[in-house]
Amino acid sequence: MMRRLLALLAMWISLAANAQVVSEHDMKAAYLYNFAHLFDWPESSRANFHLCVLGEEDVGAALQRFDERRVDGKRIVIARLSSLAPIRLCDILYVGVGELPSLPKIRSTLGSQPTLVVTDRGNLPAVGVMLGIENSRLVFDVNLEQCERAGLKAKPTLLGFARSVRRAGEAEARPLPASLPGK
């Protein structure tokens, strides 16, 4: 029986190794990397670009492959955080679902410093970008009010792909119409 099981296991390995689909956390990591390019970042005295992950180990691990790539001539450094202590050092801070209760604390710690807060679901008014899954696609909403408060300028490309964009003074994020009616 052991031998048969082993053979089965070996087959399993070979099948598994051939599968090629993009997992949620790999895609989240790719989005975060792209966000680094899709914003205009204010001048900073730091030599590196800090991409921080709080509370979702899988995304942190998937981001590792972007370590030492460059954005605006700066080296990207991936930081997998366990606490809120160092978040003021982050350029992008990704907050996983498990850490959402800490969002008020994160907001008050960061104030208006230029850190882009990205969350998985959660509360759009409190963050810059919120990710979500819709029809098996990873989608995102952008809160321009928060971005502007932090002095971050979203590039048009980003806004074009967003599911919804919330602008200053708007109570609710309004989804952009998929296509215009009429002629």
Partner 1 sequence: MPSPSHETIRFRPVCGDFAQAAGQTLSSRRQGSRPLLGVLAMTLVLCLPTGTARATGEEDLSAVPFAQLVQREVVSASTLVRQISDSPSAVAIVTAEDIRAYGYRSIADVINGMRGLYITGDRRYAYMGGRGFGAPGDYTGRIMVLIDGYVTQDSLFNQAYIDESGLLDLALVERVEYVPGTGSVTYGNNAMLGIINIVTRKGGSLNALQLSTEAGSHDAYRQRVSYGKRFENGADVVLSASSYDAAGQNLYFPAYDTPATNGGWANGIDGERNKRFFGKFSYEGLVVEAGYVDRQKTVPTKATAYSVFNTPFTIDDANGYLNASYETDIGLYLYSASRFYFGHYAHEGHRVIDDLTTPYAQRKHRAEWWGLDQKFVGKWFANHSILFGMEYRNDFSQYLSRAYFYPDGTIDSASRVRENYARNTTSVYVADEYRFHDRWRLNVGARFDKASDLDGNWSPRVALIFQPDFRTTLKASYSEAFRMPNADDRSFYGTQAMPEYVKAKEFVAQHDLDRRMRLTGTVYEYRRMDQMIDVTGNGDYAAVGNSRSRGLELEFEARWDNGVRLRSSGAWQDARDTTGQDAVNSPNVLGKFQITAPLPGDWLRAGLETQYLGARLTAERRRLGGVALANLTFTNARSWHGVTASFSVRNLFDRDYEVVSPFTWAPGTGIDSLRMDGRTYWVQLNLDL
Give the footprint of partner 1 on this chain (CB under 8 A): 2-27, 29-31, 33-34, 37-38, 50, 52, 58, 61, 64-69, 77-86, 89-90, 101-102, 104-105, 133, 136-139, 157, 161
| Cβ 50 vs Cβ 90: under 8 Å | yes
- CA distances for 112 relative to 35, 37, 117, 128, 152, angstroms: 19, 21, 11, 12, 10
If the CB atoms of residues 26 and 148 are measured against partner 1, the closer one turns out to be 26
Structure tokens at 98: 């498990």
For 123-138, give one letter per residue: b (16+ CB within 10 A) or e.
Answer: ebebbbbbbeeeeeeb
Residues 6+ apart with CB under 8 A from 20: none
**Least distance (Å) from partner 1 to the CB of residue 8?**
8
If the CB atoms of residues 18 and 181 are measured against partner 1, the closer one turns out to be 18
**Least distance (Å) from partner 1 to the CB of residue 164?**
14
**Least distance (Å) from partner 1 to the CB of residue 142?**
13
If the CB atoms of residues 20 and 183 are measured against partner 1, the closer one turns out to be 20
